[in-house]
Every structure is written in structure tokens, then in C-alpha cells.
Amino acid sequence: MPVPSDLHVDRALSNISIEFRNAADAYVASMVLPKVPVKFESDKYYEYDKGNRFQIPTIKRAPKSAFARGDWAITTQTYSAEEYGWEELIDDRERENADDPIAPDRDSTEVATDIVLIAYEQRVVDLVTSTANITQNTTLSGTSQWSDFANSDPFTDVRTGIDTIQKATGVRPNALAMGYEVWNKLQDHPDLLERVKYTQRGLITREIVAAAFDLEEIHVSRALKNTAKEGQTVSLGYMWGKDALLYFKQRTPGIKRVSLGYTFQVRDLKVERYREEPRKSDVVRVTHLVDEKLVAAACGYLIKAAVA
């Protein structure tokens, strides 16, 4: 009687494979710094003097005297886009010998795209979680961290940030971005649960939490990165860490509209292919041409170490 192994030759299944990657909705970079299409790689944009609209001059006029008058001021700022990209090599023999469900062209394009996207997320994280850039900030510690359910007060912390931004800019922040580790604690905080306990089915959603803080949006980054050195055992960690960023952003960037920052985008993700004959290979390249820039840092308030 033959055994099962005599009746079957092991080969890769064509209907299943295992792949680890960040989901598309794990990234929040473009939610923090919205993309603004631009024509040139570097250019100028105008910035009006913040004091023009908040000054209260003496405007009382005596009979036969001239009316008070003044002049508004404007300066220019610049952006300068950089090109970022990644290439994957597809050897002819790899393509010819690939079994289903392996698709070298598709898989190489996806890998290159993922690398460009995760690098974009990291650049934005580095920009907006630095106290050197977001100078309106606080660092929580000990019992003030939101992971201390008995003593911390996230609502007071957020209101402090709202008040700070309003006093500095005249606009009220409308969004809060954070890493998953912060969200994981915040959604279980007793102060929050008390405020939303009568909501539909008692579910904690980002929309409900945003409303509880009197904000329009909450964005949670679940993006992971490998923190180990190349060649070492993979060690995954959350890119956003344990920080939270309160900020104001424009839904539709335009003239005379303030916002924390933008991604000036000359060219969105572009996939190219070319032949490298000496290597008997095709090369898949994914690139984009952008500049991530804080245009009004006073529209942000950074909460460092929001949880332990």
C-alpha cells in the first residue's frame, strides 16, 4: 500500500502565499501634511504678516483730519522638492521559472512602492514629532501619561494644546494624529469612556473620540518599521512611537489659507521599467518628487510620550 507521500510531489501552492507589509491605511503622512500639486521642483509662496489682522490701532477720526491708514506686509517662503525612489531587479530566469502565485513584475512593483511609501511616512514622522520643529509642545511623564488611567487627564492636555494654537494663530486645531500605542491606551481611558458611554452601542470609534475632543478628525498610524540592522533578526516597531500631534490643517489648500504644513508634490508615485541587458534583467523603478514642509508650525502642538 503506497503512503501519501508517494502519491504527491510537494510544490508551492498556487492559491496562497504569505507576505508581510503595511496596509495602505496604516500610513497617515498625507493626512498630516496634505499633498499640494506644484509645477516646479522649487518655487516660492507668499506668507502674510501674522500681525496684520490682529492689530488694534487707533482709528478714531477728528473732524477735518485724515483717516488712519496703514499697509499690510508680505514675505516669500520657498520649497524645494527632492526625488525619492527604489529599484527592483527582475532576472529573466526568475520570471521564466516563477511558479504561481509568484509574479515577479507585480511583486517587484509592490515592494518598491512599499519602500517609497514607508520612507515618506518616516520623513513626516521625523518632521512633526521633533520638538525642534514643533516648538509648542509638552512632554508627559509618570502619572500625567495617558496610560495612568487613575491620574492622567487627556482632555485637559488636549484643551491646553487647542488653547495654545488658538492664541498663536487665531485658528482652532481640527485634527489629532497619534501612533497606535497611544490610541490603544486612549480608547480605554476612563475619562473618555465616561463621556461616550451613551453613544450608539457604546462603540469606541475614531469619529466618536474626535467628537469627544471637539475635533473633526483623528488619525492613527499603525505603520511598522524594522528597527534591526540589515542582516539581523527582524524587529518591528511602530513608526509614530508614543507621541500625539494636535494640529490644524486645510481640507482644501488654497490662497490665504493657513495650515500646519503641506507635501509639495511635483510628481506622485511613478512606476518605470527599463532593460539592463548585461544583467539579463528588467528593472522596475518607483519614484516620487516631493518636499514635506511645515509652513505654519504654530498650527501644531506636540504631546511627547503621551503614554508610557
pLDDT tens-digit profile of 136-169? 999 999 999 999 999 999 999 999 999 999 999 9
Per the prediction, the chain carries an average pLDDT of 87
> From CA 285, how far away is CA 130, in angstroms rounded?
31
**61 is a domain residue:** no
In a domain, 2, yes or no: no
Q: Are 290 and 266 in contact (CB under 8 A)?
A: yes
pLDDT in tens, 74-131: 788 899 999 999 999 988 888 887 766 567 888 888 889 999 999 999 999 999 999 9
- From CA 223, how far away is CA 49, in angstroms rounded? 38
Q: Which residue segment(s) compose the domain that 185 sits in?
A: 22-50+73-304
> Is 7 part of a structural domain of the chain?
no
- Give residue 200's pLDDT: 62
In a domain, 136, yes or no: yes
Whether residue 77 is contained in a domain is answered as yes
In a domain, 86, yes or no: yes
Please tell me the total count of domains within the chain: 1
For residue 40, is it within any domain? yes
Higher pLDDT, 53 or 118: 118
On whether residue 11 sits in a domain, the answer given is no
Which CATH number covers residue 259?
A: 3.90.1690.10
Global pTM reads 0.86
